[in-house]
Every structure is written in C-alpha cells, then in structure tokens.
Amino acid sequence: MTRALDWRDRRHWSAKRRPCRYCGRLTNLRDEQGRPAMKVCAEQAEADAERTR
C-alpha cells in the first residue's frame, strides 16, 4: 500500500523552479535527495515501484 509522502519540511522547498524529474513540469518542490520532483509524481513513482516488487 502506498503511503502519502510528507513534504511539509522546508527542505522540500526551493525558491528556484526546476523541471520535475518525472513529468518535466516546473516545480519548486524537491525530493529526499534534493532533486526536483512534484509530490504527486513522486507518490505515483513510489506506487509503480511497489507494484513491480
């Protein structure tokens, strides 16, 4: 079961918009490794990865 990601911490925010690593749309959000990623896209990628395990 996929869990909702908690991105309330300020480390997930950047003033600089960059293309999401999954969909290419511009985002201010960053994943756990600091890479640009929209939360919805990251949750979908996690769900897809769980299905292939």
What pTM was estimated for this model as a whole? 0.83
Band of pLDDT at residue 5, cut at 50, 70 and 90: confident
Domain regions of the chain by residue span = 10-51
Tokens linked to 11: 């480390």
Number of CB atoms found within 10 A of residue 36's CB: 21
Task: State the pLDDT at residue 7.
Answer: 86
| Separation CA 7–CA 23 (nearest Å) | 18
| Separation CA 12–CA 1 (nearest Å) | 23
Give burial (CB, 10 Å; 0-12/13-18/19+) of 52. exposed
For the stretch 13-37, pLDDT in tens is: 999 999 999 999 999 999 989 999 9
Give the residue ranges of DSSP H helices in 1-53. 39-51
Mean pLDDT for all residues in the chain:
91
